[in-house]
A = this chain, B = another copy of it.
Amino acid sequence: MSLPFVRHLRGKRVVLASGSPRRKEILSSVLGLKYDVVPSTFPETLDRSKYSPKDYVLANAREKGMEVYTRLNSNADLIISADTVVCLDGEILEKPRDPDHAFDMLSKLNGNKHYVYTGVTLIYKKDNSSDPITYSFVEETEVIFRKNSEDMIRAYVGTGDPFDKAGGYGYQGIASVFVEKINGCYYNVVGLPSSLFVKLEELVRTKEI
């Protein structure tokens, strides 16, 4: 029930440099990949004012991946790292600090469109070369919120769902009621775009890994 490139990768040590349950779900349940989880300890302390949102997630993804690569001392065939942000009018929205912050954030998103960016980095070694090859890309998805009532937003904040999520909502759960439509890759909003699968297939097909 899995695609040939996925079966090939099961014979390799693939490491996901992220502890996100949603990224694990995409790689396991959607793609059927086997992998080890080694969450990066890279502190997300880059100065956001110096980056565009796209460059910010790319930089974070690269730093996360390289931190795990260095720590594992090249004991992996492929490392996958990623960073996702929600961006409204050029402003990056993080995980909400508390219920009031979550309510403010969701009120800003309400009735508006925003963008979700995920930066992805793949790190692998070709043959017995000593230097790793690093490949990074970013994916953008537009998300359009319905004009939801204040009561609905308060009720959602009350469920506790927003607090571990950039932008204060998760499209994969009950907050789906807020989202009228998306324009782009669904999986990108959840945390890993399907263009990652295409890249993995290409790397296997061209015998890079």
A-side residues, CB < 8 A to B, are 1-4, 6, 30-32, 141, 146, 152, 155-156, 159-161, 171-174, 176-177, 179-187, 194-195, 197-198, 201
Contact = CB atoms under 8 A, between A and B. Distances in A.
Contact of A201 (B177, B182, B185): B177
A171 B185 contact: no
Nearest to A156: B3
Task: List the number of copies, as a whole number.
Answer: 2
Nearest to A32: B174
Contacts of A6: 174
Contacts of A30: 172-174, 176
B194 A159 contact: no
A158 B159 CA distance: 42
A2 to B, nearest CB: 7
A176 to B, nearest CB: 5
28 contacts: A1-B159, A1-B160, A1-B161, A1-B174, A2-B159, A2-B174, A3-B159, A3-B177, A4-B155, A6-B174, A30-B172, A30-B173, A31-B174, A31-B176, A141-B181, A146-B198, A176-B186, A176-B187, A176-B197, A177-B194, A179-B194, A180-B185, A180-B194, A181-B184, A182-B182, A182-B185, A182-B186, A183-B183
A142 to B, nearest CB: 9
A24 to B, nearest CB: 16
Given A2-B159, A6-B174, A182-B183, 7 more contacts: A3-B159, A3-B177, A141-B181, A176-B186, A177-B201, A180-B195, A183-B183
